[in-house]
């Protein structure tokens, strides 16, 4: 989710597929090509062969059932295939992708979820190389920054604004190299990590003793990443990303540079095609139970699927909505109840004109109804496609007039003609946006919840060891979960 710019090139995300997409009982899941293009539904679903769910319902031919068809679940399916194991993916939505979502707005392909990849992210970069998916630079080069100034905002030249933000933000990370000397091994200095992990982002800001104007250059980002309040997000969460980015502001900012040709769905579909997995859509899972060497996955409609192993590849926030039998231990239920996925997150696409700031990057302070704003693409009618985020539950981002009123506080005269919104906080199959661990989670239950429970393994960007909150983390975690299952299951070749 935090990979936050948009694929602006044209292309059909719904090409032909070799996948078999199953039907759920009482629900048709194969869309027409026109519907798929309009809604961002499963790439290739309109052309896939269909068979009834009954073929897989009871004691079927699968070694593993995977709950969730996002990057973690699809990666796990591909890895299991390489181990000689078969899998069925059970997905709640009418599309693949999870918290990535390639769809359309204003006649352009857009990403309403996670979008970016970067050469600093080794897992997803390697997947794009493996399947020949080109990486493309995205977005319009901004002309200016719109930054908090006193009780309002000021438009400043791009270089000046970037320098001001970098100068304020860089000291926030003083000491990170000591407790994260190797960010891919985050517990290598656990003695130092424990102390740092006690801090919220708000605690770290308080330590810095900044002036109100200085803090406003930082707290909009820390509040946004936390889901609204810097008190919620752990200092170690953003610090690990800083470390993974090379301990520099330039490295941190550059991770939102590259998109995938054809959108995130293009790479995901290639991985799914390679996995050999079958997919059931429109099938929210209600219960997962293990007994006598078999795991049974029961959907909300009552359909049951059985296999020797299950991988739960849905966001941690959603675990609490699934009835597990035996029940999950306290570490798992506690983290799911508290939440890792940032609450209240909305990703908003805007079509705007009449910007007195030109193509601008907006960095409002914490508490403002919008957070980061960035230009994406000039459209043929002279309007501009623009991206914004909000963590304000009171903002109706589907109402262009409401968004325009807020945006005009930053850029007087700007017009918002239309919007398209993904409300990830309200999405019942996400219950939050990007990963944002809370204080004490990393040094506390995090390593425990990465582990399997009996024949049930867990995957997802939320529990990645490295790039948690990014597509790369989802791929990493899917690989790990498949290895955990494979270690307990003899491969068949």
Is 21-101+261-340+435-487's fold the same as 160-258's? no
* Radius of gyration of the CA atoms of the chain, in A: 22
d(CA 317, CA 432): 7
Nearest Cα to Cα of residue 416 among 374, 386, 381, 456: 386
d(CA 456, CA 295): 8
With beta carbons less than 8 A apart as the criterion, state whether 96 and 272 touch. Answer: yes
With beta carbons less than 8 A apart as the criterion, state whether 349 and 387 touch. Answer: yes
pLDDT confidence bin for 139, thresholds 50/70/90: confident
Nearest Cα to Cα of residue 64 among 50, 45, 48, 77: 77
With beta carbons less than 8 A apart as the criterion, state whether 117 and 259 touch. Answer: yes
Query: What is the pTM for the complete model shown?
Result: 0.90
Burial 255-271 (b: 16+ CB within 10 A, else e): bbbbbbebbbbbbbbbb
Query: What's the mean per-residue pLDDT of the chain?
Result: 89
Q: Which helix (H) or strand (E) holds 226?
A: helix 212-226
3-state helix, strand, coil in the chain (%, to 5): 35, 25, 45
Q: pLDDT tens for residues 249-290?
A: 999 999 988 999 999 999 999 999 999 999 999 999 999 999
Instruction: Classify strands 152-157 and 415-423 as parallel, antiparallel or unpaired.
Output: unpaired
Listing DSSP states for 13-75 in one string gives S------BEEBBTTB-----HHHHHHHT--TTGGGSB--BGGGGTTT-S-SEEEE--BHHHHH
Q: What is the pLDDT of residue 317?
A: 98
More confident of the two residues 385 and 30: 385
pLDDT confidence bin for 4, thresholds 50/70/90: very low
Residue 111 scores a pLDDT above 60: yes
Around 462, how many Cα atoms within 13 Å sit in the side-chain half-sphere? 35
DSSP 8-state assignment for residue 326 = S
Residues with Cβ within 8 Å of residue 307, at least 6 apart in sequence: 60, 62, 63, 64, 65, 88, 294, 295, 297
Listing DSSP states for 111-170 in one string gives ESS---B-TT-HHHHHHHHHTTPPEEE-SPPP-EEEEEETTEEEEEEHHHHHHHHHHHHG
Instruction: Classify strands 285-291 and 64-67 as parallel, antiparallel or unpaired.
Output: unpaired
| Range 160-258: architecture per CATH | Alpha-Beta Complex (3.90)
CA angle, 87 then 91 then 94, to 5°: 135
- In this structure, how many other beta carbons lie within 10 angstroms of the beta carbon of residue 321? 14
Residue 462 scores a pLDDT above 70: yes
d(CA 279, CA 299): 14
Which of 28-37, 104-113, 239-248 is least confident?
28-37
DSSP 8-state assignment for residue 460 = -
Mean pLDDT of 106-114: 96
Domain ranges of the chain: 21-101+261-340+435-487, 160-258
Q: What is the pLDDT of residue 284?
A: 98
Cis link prior to 326 (omega < 30° from 0)?
Answer: yes
- Class of CATH domain 21-101+261-340+435-487: alpha beta
Q: What is the pLDDT of residue 428?
A: 98
* Residue % of the chain over a pLDDT of 90: 85
pLDDT confidence bin for 1, thresholds 50/70/90: low
With beta carbons less than 8 A apart as the criterion, state whether 164 and 380 touch. Answer: no
Q: pLDDT tens for residues 68-98?
A: 999 999 999 999 999 999 999 999 999 999 9
Q: Output the CA torsion 50→52→53→54 (10° steps).
A: -150
Instruction: Classify strands 135-137 and 258-260 as parallel, antiparallel or unpaired.
Output: antiparallel
DSSP 8-state assignment for residue 463 = G
């Amino acid at each position: 989710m935090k990979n936050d710019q948009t694929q602006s090139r044209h292309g059909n995300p719904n090409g032909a597929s070799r996948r078999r997409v199953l039907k759920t009982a009482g629900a048709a899941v194969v869309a027409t090509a026109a519907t798929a293009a309009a809604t961002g539904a499963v790439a290739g679903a309109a052309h896939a062969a269909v068979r009834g769910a009954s073929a897989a319902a009871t004691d079927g031919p699968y070694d593993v059932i995977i709950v969730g068809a996002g990057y973690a679940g699809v990666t796990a399916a591909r890895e299991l295939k390489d181990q000689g194991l078969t899998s069925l993916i059970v997905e709640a939505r009418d599309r693949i992708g999870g918290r990535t979502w390639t769809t359309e707005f204003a006649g352009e392909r857009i990403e309403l979820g996670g979008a970016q990849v970067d050469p600093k992210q080794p897992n997803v970069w390697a997947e794009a190389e493996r399947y020949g998916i080109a990486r493309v630079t995205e977005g319009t080069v901004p002309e200016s920054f719109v930054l908090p100034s006193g009780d309002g905002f000021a438009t400043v030249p791009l270089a000046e604004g970037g320098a001001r933000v970098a100068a304020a933000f860089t000291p926030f990370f003083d000491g990170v190299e000591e407790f994260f000397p190797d960010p891919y091994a985050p517990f290598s200095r656990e003695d130092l990590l424990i102390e740092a992990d006690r801090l919220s982002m708000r605690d770290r800001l308080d330590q810095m003793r900044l002036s109100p104007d200085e803090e406003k250059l930082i707290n909009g980002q820390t509040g946004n990443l936390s889901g609204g309040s810097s008190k919620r997000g752990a200092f170690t969460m953003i610090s690990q990303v800083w470390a993974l980015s090379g301990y520099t502001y330039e490295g941190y900012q550059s991770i939102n540079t590259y998109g995938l040709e054809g959108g995130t769905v293009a790479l995901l579909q290639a991985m799914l095609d390679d996995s050999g997995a079958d997919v059931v859509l429109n099938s929210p899972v209600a219960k997962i139970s293990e007994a006598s060497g078999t795991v049974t996955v029961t959907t909300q409609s009552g359909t049951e699927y059985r296999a020797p192993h299950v991988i739960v590849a849905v966001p941690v926030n959603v675990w609490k909505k699934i009835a597990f039998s035996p029940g999950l231990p306290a570490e798992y239920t506690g983290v799911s109840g508290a939440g890792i996925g940032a609450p209240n997150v909305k990703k908003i696409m805007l079509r705007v004109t009449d910007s007195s700031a030109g193509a601008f990057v907006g960095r409002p302070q914490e508490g403002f109804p919008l957070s980061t704003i960035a230009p994406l693409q000039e459209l043929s009618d002279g309007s501009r496609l623009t991206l914004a985020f909000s963590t304000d539950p009171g903002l109706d981002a589907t109402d262009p007039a409401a968004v325009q009123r807020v945006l005009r506080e930053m850029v007087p005269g700007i017009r918002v003609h239309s919007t398209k919104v993904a409300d990830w906080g309200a999405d019942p199959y996400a219950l939050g946006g990007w990963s944002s661990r809370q204080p004490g989670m990393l040094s506390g239950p995090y390593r425990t919840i990465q582990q399997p429970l009996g024949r049930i393994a867990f995957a997802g960007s939320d529990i990645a060891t490295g790039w948690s909150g990014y597509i790369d983390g989802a791929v990493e975690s899917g690989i790990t979960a498949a290895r955990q299952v494979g270690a307990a299951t003899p491969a068949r070749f």
